[in-house]
Amino acid sequence: MDTGNLTTTENAPWIPEIVANEAIGYLGSYLNLGATVTKDSELTGSVRVGQTVNVPKRGVIVAQQKVEDTDVSTQKVAGTEVPVTIDQHWYVRLAEEDFTAAMQVGSTLPGYVEDALVVLAEKIESRLASHITEFDNIDAGSNAIESVQLVRERMALNKIPKLARKYGYIHPTFVTELLTENAFVDPKIIPNNQALTEGAVGRVGGFDLFEGQLVPGEGSPSWYQNFFYTRAALVLATRPLQLPGQRFGVESAYVQSDAGIGIRVMRLYDDKAMAMVGQLDVAFGTAVMDERQGFVLESQ
């Protein structure tokens, strides 16, 4: 039976521009570390995998006292650069054969877009989480609440700005410990109406805490490396991937979110497989930005 051709209305969920814009929203929803670290999102043209991007890091400045009848002095600030290699290129490629498409009304590919974004987000999170063990450890206290307070104390002693937003990427078992100790602050009584970061399970000791399935473990039995940090601890760099263009028989689009994470979406027809192919991919790199602004707190 003739079911009619798919129009742009029915097929809109798989038009690359639409998919790319929707995917950016999905991607942010599945990122915790990726959403709370420094992003270098300057668009400088296409980038090859393996290319190094130098992310600027501000130098240290000091306050100086004005003395009567003396000239002021100008500080010479020496900024540095953190090299980030764009060495991660991950993709999801899906295909739907002609015969399968002929047996149904509409395409099943759009339903897999969100699934694809979940696995791509996991790759970004995993890469960022791989840097956690590069930060200093803090000795745990007698209970979970005291342990978090010791992290807060160390950050204060490290002169991390009091108003800097602070985060914790912690293992589900540590979340359970904190819940058992009734450690989480009721959002309704948080001072200054500072809302919880989206996706956070709660706030303890001034840290917005995320329950992380990718928190690394070390040893046997495993000690989980709970990570407490500010945005300046890690950096995530993404760059736009080349768009092949319709002259090559490919529909493609690239979208970068306000958070600085970009994704490419392509649609093409594979005549050998006789299938419509959809692909989503992202190129990125990660690095430690400032080792003084992150600490590891172990738990079992």
Model pLDDT for residues 122-146, shown as the tens digit of each residue: 899 999 999 999 999 999 989 999 9
Residue 196 in domain: yes
Mean pLDDT of 31-54: 67
- Does the residue 156 lie in any domain? yes
* CB-based contact 38:82 (threshold 8 Å): no
Q: At what angle do helices 172-180 and 144-157 cross, to 10 degrees?
A: 110
Calpha distance 210→227 (Å, rounded): 10
Whether the model clears a pTM of 0.85, i.e. scores above it, the answer is: no
Q: What is the 3-state secondary structure (H, E, C) of 223-255?
A: EEEEEEEEHHHEEEEECCCCCCCHHHCEEEEEE
Q: What is the pLDDT of residues 166-195, one digit of tens each?
A: 999 999 999 999 999 988 876 655 666 577
Q: Confirm if 56 and 81 have CB atoms less than 8 A apart.
A: yes
Q: Is residue 10 part of a domain?
A: no
Total domains, the chain: 1
> Is 127 inside a domain boundary?
yes
- Does any domain span residue 8? no
Per-residue model confidence as pLDDT tens digits over 233-287: 998 888 778 888 777 778 888 777 655 677 888 888 888 878 878 888 888 889 9
Question: Residue 207: CB partners within 8 Å, gap ≥ 6?
Answer: 148, 151, 152, 166, 167, 168, 228
Q: Which domain holds residue 174?
A: 25-60+82-300
In a domain, residue 7? The reply is no
Distance separating alpha carbons of residues 213 and 221, to the nearest angstrom:
17
Give the CATH number for residue 201: 3.90.1690
State yes or no: pLDDT of 51 exceeds 80: no
The predicted pLDDT at position 35 comes to 84
On whether residue 71 sits in a domain, the answer given is: no
Residue 77 forms part of a structural domain:
no
